[in-house]
Amino acid sequence: MAQQPLAMVYGGGGVVGIAYTAGVAAGLTTAGIPVATAPALGTSAGSWTASALALGLSYDDLVDLPVPPLPSVRAGVLARIARQAFGEATHPGVSVSVVSVLSGRRRIFEGGDHPLADLVAASSAVPGLCPPHRIGGGLYIDGGMWSATSVDAADEAARVIVVAPLAGRVMGPMGRVAGALLERELERWRHRHPEASIHMIRPNRAMAKIVGVRPLALFDAERARAVHPLAYEQGVRWGEQIQADAAEAPWQQGPAA
C-alpha cells in the first residue's frame, strides 16, 4: 500500500491534556488537516482524544464526563467513565500506549482488537492516582510512565503531527523534563524517517499560566475548559502553516502500489 499521508500523535496531560489535544485537533481540522481520518497514537489523555476523533466525537462529548476523586482505589473507575463516551466501540485507526505492571515495559495496543474504553482506562491509570486496568490477562498503567507521547511508535507517514500537552519550558519543571525526552524521541524518529516531516505542537505561555505548575492541576476541569479555546486557536494557526508547507503534497491517500 502507499504510504499514509498523515499520522497523528496525542500525548498525555490529565483532563487538561484532553482539552488541549482535542482543541488543537479541532483547530487543525478547521484549517483543513484531516486529523479524524489519520491513524492516531494516543498516550494517557491523548488516548481519549484519539478515540473520540476516530468515533466522530468531539470535546463536547467529553467535557462533561465526571472526573473521579483522586487518588481513587476503585478498580475500573476510568473504564466506567470511558464507556459513557465510547461504549464498547473498537477502531482500527487508533493505537494506545500503556505500560505493563509485570514487565515495566511499554506496549502498544491496537484499537481494533480491544474496546477503546479499556485502552484509554489503562493508558490513563496514573500510579498512585488510579489502580491499574486489566486488558486480557495483564494489568497495565499509564503509558506516560514510559513516554509522554511515544512518538517513536507512531505510524509511518509522510507527515506526522505530535500534540504534546506537557512538553516545553513554559510548563515548568515537568514540561522541561518531558520536552527534553520528547526531543530525543523526535531525533530518533527523524533519523529513521529522513524523507518525512514531523511537527510538534505544545502549549504556549497563555495556556501554561492557566494550568500552573502543580501536577494535580492537570485534573482540574475548570482549567481544562479554559485551555480548550486557546488550544483551538493554536491548532488553526498551526494548521494554516502546515497546509502551506504541504501545498505540493495532497492529503488524500495515494493509490495502492
CB 13 within 8 A of CB 44: yes
What is the structure's pLDDT at 27? 98
What is the structure's pLDDT at 133? 96
What is the structure's pLDDT at 1? 46
- In angstroms, the CA 48 to CA 116 distance is 9
Which of 188, 189, 190, 217 has its CA nearest to residue 203?
A: 217
- In angstroms, the CA 163 to CA 202 distance is 6
What is the structure's pLDDT at 21? 97
- In angstroms, the CA 37 to CA 106 distance is 25
Which of 92, 106, 101 has its CA nearest to residue 148?
A: 106
Query: Consecutive 10-residue runs of the chain (257 residues): their mean pLDDT?
Result: 84 95 98 96 97 97 92 90 97 97 97 97 94 95 92 90 81 68 82 88 90 84 96 97 77 37
Listing DSSP states for 171-214 in one string gives: GHHHHHHHHHHHHHHHHHHHHH-TTSEEEEE---HHHHHHH-S-
0.85 exceeded by pTM: yes
